[in-house]
Amino acid sequence: MKINLHVFRSVFGKAVLASAALGGFLLFAGAPGAKANAWDDCNRRVSYTQYRYNEAAERYGPYSSAARHWAHQRHEAYERCDHYRDRDYRYHRDWDRR
């Protein structure tokens, strides 16, 4: 009976160690992808809304409700990006004054 218990503990211990190692690897392997790319996200959002507007205008006409919707979304995307553009512009403008 002690032999079976020893084998069980050995196998169970190895499985716990292997799962902990695999879990740690997966946890740290996914960490670099979880970064914030505010400027890239902003440009991606503007590009997507521009694409959708062009598709709607081509398919239904520039005065259709779909085209107006995507024009509005595009305008909002540009407004959200102004924060990043203004910040970069102020930085470069101040740098030129020195």
pLDDT at 70 over 60: yes
Going from N- to C-terminal start, the domains of the chain cover: 1-35, 36-98
pTM above 0.95, yes or no: no
pLDDT (tens digit per residue) in 21-46: 888 777 776 655 555 566 677 888 99
Give residue 38's identity as a one-letter amino acid code: A
Over the stretch 73-98, which tens digit does the pLDDT of each residue have?
999 988 888 765 555 555 444 444 44
| Both structure tokens of 57 | 């205008």
Helix axes 65-97, 38-60, angle to 10 degrees: 150
Sequence-ordered list of residues with C-beta below 8 angstroms from that of 67, at least 6 positions apart, any chain: 53, 56, 57, 60, 61
